[in-house]
Structure 1
Amino acid sequence: MIPEPDGVMWHKSSYSGSANNCVERGILPTGRHAVRDTEDRARGTLLFEASAWQAFVDAVRDGELDG
């Protein structure tokens, strides 16, 4: 994990409500995607290339990660 990068536009799911027990996704100016824990931002940030993030989103939408 890395410290929080500069220039990230963070957001969390509208399904989260007002609770802080979720993760946030951010988009960097470089097109990379970042993920962090809302409750413990000091733990750092995970970064993903745009293609890796899109592959993850596609897998979720297609149900490939359903248990």
Structure 2
Amino acid sequence: MSTNNDLPANLEWFKATASSGSGGCLEVAFLEDGRVALRDNEDLSNPPFVVSDHVWRCFLDGANRGEFNIPV
């Protein structure tokens, strides 16, 4: 896992449709080498956080299982 200021300028960034344009969204971009870059679209001055494909898939699995739900 790393941050990286040397990412290609032409990345295509995606965000969840649930954001509905209200800002404060996490955006992801898929790199050619399989890594995934993540950024906060409210503060683009911070460099994206980059994880491996394996880390991204593990995160998605946990999210789908509700393992990261905010405790009530």
Fold in common (TM above 0.5)? yes
Identity %: 27
For residues 38 and 52 of structure 2, the distance between their equivalents in structure 1, rounded to whole angstroms, comes to 12
Structure 2 counterpart of 1:20, from 13, 20, 23: 23
Q: What corresponds to 1:5 in structure 2?
A: 7
Q: What corresponds to 1:63 in structure 2?
A: 66
Structure with greater proportional helix content: 1
TM-score (norm 2): 0.82
| CA RMSD between the two structures | 1.4
Q: What corresponds to 1:52 in structure 2?
A: 55
Aligned-residue offset at 1:65: 2.0
TM-score (norm 1): 0.87
Q: What corresponds to 1:32 in structure 2?
A: 35
Pairs aligned (count): 67
User: Gaps spanning 5+ residues in structure 1: where?
Assistant: none
